[in-house]
Amino acid sequence: MTHPTPRWHQGAALLGGFVMAMLVLVAAILSVQRNEALNSGFQVARLMAQSFEVFLTQSLNASVLAAGQAVTLDRTLDDQTGLQAELQKILRGAPHLRSVSLLDAQGRVVVSSNAVNSGKAIGLGDFYPPLDANNLVLRLGHPWFGRDFADARPAHASSSADTSLSLIPVLFPLDLHGNRFFWLFALNPDYIVNHMLQQLRPQTGEVEVLRLDGVRLLSTALNLAAGEVVDLAAWPRRPSESDAGQRATVAGNGQAALSAYQTSSLYPFLVMTHVWRAPVLDRWHVLIQTLAGVLLPLLVVTGWLAVVLYRRQIQLAQQQAEAQRLQRINAACVFSNSCEGIMITDAHGSIVDVNDAFCDITGYRRDEVLGRNPRFLSSGRHDAAFYAQFWQQLRSQGHWSGILWNRRKDGEVYAEQLTISAVQDQSGQAQQYVGMFTNITAQVQYQNKLERAAHHDALTGLPNRVMLADRL
């Protein structure tokens, strides 16, 4: 099989380069779009974590301030009824609380907005950070299962309490009349979770609130139990106060997530938001499908056209090769069987080939003339001016035609009708000269005889004008 021409190879290389460039461009676009989608997902996770952290911090801060106002109304512990009324007033403006209670130094409820909590003993060892006599800061306890402290138990303790309800103990120490007391808030996780679900649906992601020691306080996911300990060491930098971070994670339900956390600016907890990676990349997948729907048919059509063009080039190459083969065969037949003498020289005039008719006309064998200049055939009848005009016309016009007198090997002079053509390259430079001639000596002699008979007397051989003068 004939191979494609080099030009076709160049075309194939260009086509392949175009296809590769298109694929690289599409891959670059998809990579940039994917990174932008992931960065957007992380940004959503960070903003959600910051928003929920601010909401919780402000809620706790408002509760602490409201409770502080309750004990600044010149009430003593002897007026428990009045103090209880003030605590109930706090609840009416704080839907995030289940109850507000006052504990003595031993952790027993002295007075509460919920009367049934009175006398309840609260373990003070389950709070974070641990109690410190000199550090009056807010502390968070382990979650409890139940509606309020009277009927609830800590999540890590065996209990028959209703696990569908929970609360988060929040402890804030204060000094009253020289004695240590504690405010105890029952934080309502349901209210907080509902607030979070309004902003982050389960199909999009989930949120969990953790103490800084890793204890989970609440979560919007049903499969994440309150009271479990989360290993925060998996993060590149362990969360601490006034800290934030992000990383790719795998959530408890097995979904890949873009996670971000934000610690509270005042209290010992952090909010961790997980945004599902799959929905974030949905638009990117749509882009892939769109590009694939456009690019793949284009590549298929381009490939089909390339195959068709390749086959066409193969056919043309075969046809061209066959035409050249036939042309060479025909040229060889013409060269060998022509009745005209044919002589081929190089650009310098050296003979490179002759045919049989040349040998018959000149009397020279082929091996006797190869490499020689045709001037050895000169008869001497043409002067230098004739040959100068001959070469001038051949170089300027690329061909010359006329009658030339040459000499055979046996010395006989003969006339030939000669046509010489220059074979030029693409730049117009002569590479070879091809001469074709026939022996017309007999025709020339016969023509000369007719001319002589027309102008001379047949008996005397004198010109007709001389005879006419004698008669006069």
Query: For residue range 259-282, what is the model confidence (pLDDT) as tens digits?
Result: 999 999 889 999 999 999 999 998
Under the banding of pLDDT at 50, 70 and 90, the label for residue 298 is: confident
From 272-276, 377-381, 430-434, 444-448, the region with the lowest mean pLDDT: 444-448
Task: With 0.75 as the threshold, say if the pTM is over it.
Answer: no
- Residues 194, 32: Cα–Cα separation, whole Å: 36
Report the Cα 76 to chain-centroid distance in Å. 75
Contacts 24+ apart (CB under 8 A), 73-78: 76/177, 77/102, 77/110, 77/111, 77/176
- CA 63 vs CA 51, 124, 171, 183, 321: distances in Å: 19, 20, 11, 10, 97
- Residues 359, 342: Cα–Cα separation, whole Å: 9
Does the pLDDT at position 240 exceed 80? no
In this prediction, residue 177 carries a pLDDT of 74
In this prediction, residue 11 carries a pLDDT of 64
In this prediction, residue 338 carries a pLDDT of 80
> Can you give the residue ranges of every domain in the chain?
27-280, 338-439
In this prediction, residue 1 carries a pLDDT of 43
156: left (phi over 0), alpha (psi -120 to 50) or beta: alpha
In this prediction, residue 458 carries a pLDDT of 57
Does the pLDDT at position 311 exceed 90? no
Q: 55-76 pLDDT, tens per residue?
A: 999 999 988 888 877 765 455 6
Under the banding of pLDDT at 50, 70 and 90, the label for residue 136 is: confident
- Residues 342, 103: Cα–Cα separation, whole Å: 130
338-439 matches 27-280 in CATH topology:
yes
In this prediction, residue 448 carries a pLDDT of 80
Does the pLDDT at position 406 exceed 80? yes
More confident residue, 137 or 210: 210
In this prediction, residue 206 carries a pLDDT of 95
In this prediction, residue 76 carries a pLDDT of 61
Which CATH number among 3.40.1190.20, 3.30.420.40, 3.30.450.20, 2.40.160.20 corresponds to the domain 338-439? 3.30.450.20
Average pLDDT over residues 345-359: 90
In this prediction, residue 114 carries a pLDDT of 93
Does the pLDDT at position 80 exceed 60? yes
In this prediction, residue 318 carries a pLDDT of 81
Does the pLDDT at position 469 exceed 60? no
Average pLDDT over residues 433-447: 88
Q: Would you mind telling me the total number of residues written for the chain in this entry?
A: 472
Average pLDDT over residues 214-227: 91
Class of domain 27-280: alpha beta
For residues 207 and 48, is the Cβ–Cβ distance under 8 A? Answer: yes
Pairing relation of β-strands 109-112 and 179-187?
Answer: unpaired
More confident residue, 253 or 49: 49
Does the pLDDT at position 2 exceed 50? no
Average pLDDT over residues 208-234: 89
* Range with the largest mean pLDDT of 146-150, 153-157, 241-245, 325-329: 146-150
Under the banding of pLDDT at 50, 70 and 90, the label for residue 4 is: very low
- CA 361 vs CA 334, 336, 437: distances in Å: 17, 14, 9
